[in-house]
Chain A
């Protein structure tokens, strides 16, 4: 009974111990906030990585696409390959499959009178099929979360496109269409001339092919004189672009003209600065890849449960084609995800060392408190307290300090995490330094993700550290000779 009483009284009266509580509190709060922010970044990154890639990807390095010959040596079409995949043992665990072409390209467009050229990753897709295999429409700007995304222009975009054509004609003169030549009249066995109606009918307009460009390709960000981040659109829906890539047997330059229909906004600069989506058929036509694809994106019904089985079966299915790779999205992004986990592990280790430093402060302060309490220890022993009982007082004191520090630190850490954007805004306003530059991170808010298991783990670790570091002073207190303790001045 006396142990608990003295622990609580020491906590209430020894203000020096508040330093220990504050140390533990700050260490725990820091760990919680940093873990929450890192986890938020990591989760958002993984979501984006998984969203842009489907569950499983089958791809090939061949620039002319999959070459899987049928019985007579003709390459299987994407539909035939899809049927082959669905007919395999993995088929009943697959929800959707879509073919794509992925290649490098250069995107050109006019901006403020100059031609801008950007290297991009060009992906030919069937937009509805792509939406079925994973996150695609959720990252579109105009067709966000649409179940049937497309490359169609909106009315406004079409109007903008026509206005731009007229503006070009006004600036550069109308396009002259030469009059058709009159045929030579030969009365003997002559073919009748074409009718005037056919000659004067309006020529059919060429088909406009849409393109979905990464948001950062179409927009420029800069900081103005007032230190505000300004975003300017270089490309808007309705603007035309030229995409140049390589195609054909000898990979010669080929190009196509497209009209911007939408933006891709994943909030990951790596994708928003480079990804460009065009219709699969148009890209096949441009590259001379008739009925071919370079990748198949697959969505599973139950990813975690079936990923190993499906990848193993598909590897067996394509085992005769060594240039074909089968991998999950995690294996595709393995190095990046591993880097994130390693960074997080190292950061946690370093931050736990901060709590370890708090432990050393507990050791120092407890040693001082035990020295202050020499006489009290002598009194307690003279009244019949055992050495183990005296040790328990100080161990319990360390445990109590650790627990109080933990509880306060957890509350503080969770509060900071919940209000981190407001705190960042205040700090940035106070110091004049932007703590979280939006143009660097491309996130609107600081992402956070509180894992309560991690919070509990941090709390247990901090309490253990506090208790362990109070062990030595407590042991010294227990070993004190009562007579020497009573005489201590």
Chain B
């Protein structure tokens, strides 16, 4: 479904060029819960950014359902990030001026004009509230991020990522800033979403304890995928999420 082909990416720091991805190839199956592990600096987050069109590769391509997406016009990539991909970051990245409900609604605000929002606001609000209840934050709709715990903020971010019914969730170290218990809750939630709604999840982590809940684990080193590790012993049931 989501393919990375011969990806190369470098960053230049002053006069020094740092090669992060070195001819990387990866296939993500539909409905899969994939973990990407590796040491710091192995290029995991960079790969995630390229998969989600947040950044562009130097060479190589990213394909979604066989269609190249890394070289699309800006407005099409913006639309992909709004409706097809959902992002979950290590540091939650909620907007501090908005409350929980508005943070979750942010993708819908971005998608709609003022006029079309006015016509559809009730159903979007209902969806946001349902998602927040699902992640256990139904009682925190009007709270600002500074009034939430780390786990609550991450769950808000997950609800936000799910608002537009994305096909793919890209999670960059979602438990990196949480304690073990909260981190475990997050991974369980992601597992539920993957199982119940068939959302494909690509999770980057350096925590090998949580990868057991995933379907497949790939290891990265020096900018390439070095090997694959099985996650859950049983095979997964791919389910196509409604587009």
Contacts and interface: CB of A to CB of B under 8 A. Distances in A.
A386 B97 contact: no
A389 B114 CA distance: 13
B74 A13 contact: no
Given A5-B102, A483-B49, A384 B82 contact: yes
B231 to A, nearest CB: 26
A481 B49 CA distance: 12
A383 B49 contact: no
B60 interface: no
A6 interface: yes
B140 interface: no
Interface string A159-173: 000000000000000
Interface in A1-15: 1-2, 4-6, 9-10, 12-13
A351 interface: no
A387 B107 contact: no
B74 A382 contact: no
A351 B107 CA distance: 44
A25 to B, nearest CB: 23
B87 A386 contact: no
B189 interface: no
B117 A1 contact: yes
Contacts of A380: 95, 106, 110
B81 interface: yes
Contacts of A376: 95-96
Contacts of B114: 1, 4
A383 B97 contact: no
B54 A2 contact: no
B112 interface: yes
B229 interface: no
A486 interface: yes
B12 interface: no
B54 A384 contact: no
A343 B93 CA distance: 56
B75 A1 contact: no
A379 B81 CA distance: 11
A486 B79 CA distance: 19
B82 A1 contact: no
14 contacts: A1-B110, A6-B95, A379-B95, A380-B110, A381-B54, A381-B78, A384-B78, A384-B82, A384-B107, A386-B75, A481-B55, A483-B54, A486-B54, A486-B93
B89 interface: yes
Interface string A380-396: 11111111010000000
Given A1-B109, A381-B81, A384-B82, 11 more contacts: A1-B110, A1-B114, A2-B106, A5-B102, A6-B97, A9-B98, A376-B96, A383-B81, A383-B110, A384-B110, A482-B54
Interface string B96-139: 11100010001101111110010000000000000000000000
Interface string B77-91: 011111100010100
Contact of A383 (B74, B96, B106, B113): B106
6 cross-chain pairs, A with B, having the tightest CB-CB distances, nearest first: A384-B82, A2-B109, A9-B97, A1-B117, A384-B81, A379-B93
A378 interface: yes
Q: Which of A375, A380, A382, A389 has the most CB of B within 10 A?
A: A382
Contact of A382 (B54, B109, B112): B54
B95 A389 contact: no
A481 B56 CA distance: 11
Contacts, number: 71
A382 B110 contact: no
Interface string A206-226: 000000000000000000000
A2 B97 contact: no
Contacts of A383: 81-82, 87, 106-107, 110, 160
Given A383-B107, A389-B110, A483 B55 contact: yes
Nearest to B114: A1
Contact of B83 (A5, A378, A384, A482): A384
Contacts of B111: 384
Interface of B: 49, 52, 54-55, 74-75, 78-83, 87, 89, 93-98, 102, 106-107, 109-114, 117, 160
Given A1-B113, A2-B106, A2-B109, A382 B87 contact: yes
Contacts of B97: 6, 9-10, 12-13
Of listed A5, A378, A481, residue having the most chain B CB within 10 A = A5
Interface residues of A, number: 26
A389 B109 CA distance: 12
A2 B52 CA distance: 22
B74 A386 contact: yes
A386 B78 contact: yes
Contacts of A4: 114
A420 B117 CA distance: 48
Contacts of A375: 93
Nearest to B55: A483
Interface string A1-45: 110111001101100000000000000000000000000000000
Nearest to A8: B97
A482 B107 CA distance: 16
B109 A384 contact: no
B148 to A, nearest CB: 16
Contacts of B74: 386-387
A481 B93 CA distance: 16
B106 A1 contact: no
Contacts of B80: 384
Interface string A475-489: 000000111001000
A1 B112 contact: yes
A5 B105 CA distance: 11
Contacts of B79: 384
Nearest to A11: B97
B93 to A, nearest CB: 5
Contacts of A379: 93-95
Contacts of A486: 54, 89, 93
A381 B111 CA distance: 12
Q: Which of A6, A13, A379 has most chain B Cβ within 10 Å?
A: A379
Nearest to B50: A483
Contacts of A2: 106, 109-110
Interface in A358-389: 375-376, 378-387, 389
